[in-house]
């Protein structure tokens, strides 16, 4: 069983081909970075992976469940962190988390236990009653990560999760998710355009103009070069 | 099944909390019909004579005539506001969060619809309480009989908003919705003038008003206030509600890709 499998996925907006026969697999417990310049097709890939819309061609499998044939099973095993914040700023941490839990069918004591465990992992216990607006940017993002794990997904998809954060927070969040992947066996797909978020041992997919340009570990792919230089040489575009 | 109900409860609670949080929206939703009732209706009272037509058994003042139309107005504006909130949600990403729930998408949309209708109905009753303070009162039984009429009417207008939200791409298009959807729907209905009055000026206008589902919603409300069932209006409201809901589910179908433009 694979964590995440994408086969021959293509998508076009009218005449513009956004994704062209993209195939890759991410094994369970692997942190996989998806690197690509703006317009490479990352957002389209995420929209398809999260079933915002479906592709006429290709196949997506989440923890062994086909997204087209068993979308609800596939979605149940998936956690998502979107690029745009999706917290209700005027609601409390508790309300935000229990809303999400209920969308995944969790409620009552079971939901509450998971919510509290999530906050403990974040080292934020006792802050359930705070309004999200009063949290800083880093805490909000970590809260969203904790929320995306409440239903115990096997695969976590993150679309440029560190946008707008300062360097220290960015580093802390990147390390946190790497750690989750290692310790919990979580399959992670982390889209980014920042090469310093990628560790040498990570699987790396480079998406360029809708096509998968490279797939391997970051160490293999970059060879003797720094990752940013390798990327620049490959795509002709700075990241 | 409990998962489905948990989602319904959570979505309703979220809508209610957001509504309470947006006090200006609440005030605007009440000021609008109150202005019509207190200012517009008072001016029209002298200009417009109303004959005795069902459900009215005696001569009725214009202020009394217009109340069901204003109840409908609250449902209509709220249905559209909910549509605006869907578009806003979609841009903010929380719509995407909702759509990644493993529950069926049609059910998630129905949850949103039920939640927004519940809030609309609450507003209608607050408006009726204010109207009562201004001396426009109905029987207690009438107020109670109104509830089963407000539910289908609110759902139908909410479903219309939902259907629109699946095709509106940008927030600012809501101004277009106001001009091209809300105003024609409201003015070409029996909310402000009875059908026979419309017929005096144009038969075509009368026919448009008669088939307008909003007119049917208003008539359903009007008859319910006098403890009467307008079966034809109810059937028309239910039928059009199903059509709008069908369109909304179609519009939000991931294979249709109508929403892909918003995500691009």
B236, B213 Cβ separation under 8 angstroms: yes
- pLDDT tens per residue, range B70-127: 999 999 998 888 777 777 666 667 778 888 899 998 999 899 899 999 999 999 999 9
Contact B98 A103 (CB under 8 A): yes
DSSP reduced 3-state for A87: coil
Q: Please tell me the distance in Å from A139's CA to the nearest CA on chain B.
A: 18
Q: Predicted confidence band at A32 (pLDDT cuts at 50, 70, 90)?
A: very high
Contact B100 A83 (CB under 8 A): no
Residues of chain B found within 8 Å of residue A101, distances taken between Cβ atoms:
10
Structure tokens at B146: 């109104």
Average pLDDT over residues A198-217: 94
Nearest CA in chain B to A84: B93
Quote the CA–CA distance of B154 and B139 in Å, as a whole number: 22
Residues of chain A found within 8 Å of residue B97, distances taken between Cβ atoms:
80, 82, 86, 100, 103
Q: Please tell me the distance in Å from A80's CA to the nearest CA on chain B.
A: 8
Higher pLDDT, A49 or B97: A49
Predicted local confidence at residue A169, as pLDDT: 87
User: How would you class A1 by CB atoms within 10 Å of its CB: exposed for 0-12, middle for 13-18, buried for 19 or more?
Assistant: exposed
Handedness of CA A161, A165, A170, A173 (dihedral sign): negative
Predicted local confidence at residue B56, as pLDDT: 83
Predicted local confidence at residue B215, as pLDDT: 96
Higher pLDDT, A236 or A187: A187
Predicted local confidence at residue B263, as pLDDT: 44
Judge if the upstream peptide bond of residue B237 is cis by omega within 30 degrees of 0: no
Contact B2 A47 (CB under 8 A): no
Contact A53 B260 (CB under 8 A): yes
Nearest CA in chain B to A105: B3
* Interface pTM, i.e. ipTM: 0.83
Higher pLDDT, B58 or A193: A193
Whether the full predicted model's pTM is greater than 0.80, yes or no, is yes
Which of these, B72, B154, B145, lies nearest to B117 by C-alpha position? B154
Residues of chain B found within 8 Å of residue A65, distances taken between Cβ atoms:
none
Residues of chain B found within 8 Å of residue A47, distances taken between Cβ atoms:
260, 263
Q: Please tell me the distance in Å from B251's CA to the nearest CA on chain A.
A: 11
- pLDDT tens per residue, range A3-16: 999 999 999 988 88
Q: How many CB pairs under 8 A join A and B?
A: 103
Contact A54 B254 (CB under 8 A): yes
Predicted local confidence at residue A177, as pLDDT: 92
Q: Predicted confidence band at A26 (pLDDT cuts at 50, 70, 90)?
A: very high
Most confident of A187-196, A227-236, B1-10: A187-196
Sorted by sequence, the CB contacts under 8 Å of residue B54 that are 6+ apart come out as B223, B228
Predicted local confidence at residue A110, as pLDDT: 92
Predicted local confidence at residue B50, as pLDDT: 66
Q: Residues in chain B with pLDDT < 50?
A: 171, 262-264
| Chain B touched by A24 (CB under 8 Å) | no
Predicted local confidence at residue B188, as pLDDT: 92
Choosing among A86, A91, A93, A157, which should be mutated to test the B contact, i.e. which has the most B CBs within 10 A? A86
| Chain B touched by A17 (CB under 8 Å) | no
| Chain B touched by A12 (CB under 8 Å) | no
Element (H, E) at B30: helix B23-35
Phi/psi of residue A11, nearest 5 degrees:
-155, 140
Residues of chain B found within 8 Å of residue A105, distances taken between Cβ atoms:
2-4, 6-7, 102-103
């Amino acid at each position: 069983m694979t964590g995440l499998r994408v086969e021959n996925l293509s998508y076009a907006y009218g005449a513009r081909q956004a994704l062209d026969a993209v195939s890759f697999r991410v094994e369970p417990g692997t942190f996989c970075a998806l690197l690509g310049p703006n317009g490479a097709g990352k957002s389209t890939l995420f929209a398809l992976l999260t079933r915002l819309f479906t592709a006429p061609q290709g196949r997506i499998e989440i923890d062994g469940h086909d997204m087209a044939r068993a979308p609800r099973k596939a979605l149940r095993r998936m956690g998502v962190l979107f690029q745009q914040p999706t917290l209700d700023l005027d609601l409390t941490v508790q309300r935000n988390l229990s809303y999400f839990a209920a969308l995944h069918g969790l409620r009552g004591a079971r939901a509450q236990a998971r919510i509290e465990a999530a906050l403990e992992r974040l080292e934020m216990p006792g802050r359930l009653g705070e309004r999200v607006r009063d949290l800083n940017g880093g805490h909000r993002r970590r809260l969203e990560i904790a929320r995306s794990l409440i239903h115990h997904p096997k695969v976590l998809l993150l679309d440029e999760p560190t946008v707008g954060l300062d360097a220290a927070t960015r580093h802390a969040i990147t390390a946190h998710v790497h750690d989750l992947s290692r310790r919990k066996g979580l399959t992670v797909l982390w889209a980014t355009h920042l090469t310093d978020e990628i560790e040498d041992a990570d699987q790396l997919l480079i998406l360029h103009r809708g096509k998968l340009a490279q797939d391997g570990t970051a160490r293999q792919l970059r060879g003797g070069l720094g990752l940013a230089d390798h990327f620049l040489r490959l795509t002709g575009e700075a990241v | 099944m409990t998962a489905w109900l948990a989602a319904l409860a959570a979505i309703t609670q979220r809508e209610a909390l957001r509504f309470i949080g947006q006090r200006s929206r609440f005030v605007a939703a009440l000021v609008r019909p109150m202005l019509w009732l207190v200012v517009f209706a008072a001016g029209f009272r002298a200009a417009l004579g109303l004959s005795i037509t069902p459900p009215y058994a005696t001569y009725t003042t214009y202020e009394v005539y217009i109340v069901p139309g204003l109840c409908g107005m609250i449902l209509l504006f709220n249905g559209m506001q909910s549509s605006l909130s869907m578009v806003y949600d979609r841009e903010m990403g929380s719509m995407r969060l909702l759509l990644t729930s493993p529950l069926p998408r049609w059910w998630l949309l129905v949850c949103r619809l039920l939640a927004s209708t519940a809030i609309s109905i609450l507003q209608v009753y607050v408006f009726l309480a204010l109207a009562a303070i201004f001396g426009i009162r109905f029987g207690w039984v009438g107020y109670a009989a109104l509830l089963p009429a407000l539910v289908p009417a609110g759902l139908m207008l909410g479903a219309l908003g939902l259907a629109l939200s699946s095709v509106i791409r940008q927030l600012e298009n809501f101004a277009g919705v106001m001009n091209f959807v809300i105003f024609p729907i409201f003015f070409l209905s029996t909310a402000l003038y009875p059908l026979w009055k419309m017929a005096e000026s144009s038969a075509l206008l009368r026919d448009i008003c008669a088939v307008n589902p909003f007119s049917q919603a208003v008539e359903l409300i009007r008859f319910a206030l006098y403890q009467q069932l307008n079966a034809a209006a109810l059937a028309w409201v239910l039928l059009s509600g199903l059509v709008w809901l069908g369109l909304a589910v179609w519009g939000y179908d991931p294979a249709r890709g109508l929403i892909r433009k918003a995500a691009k």
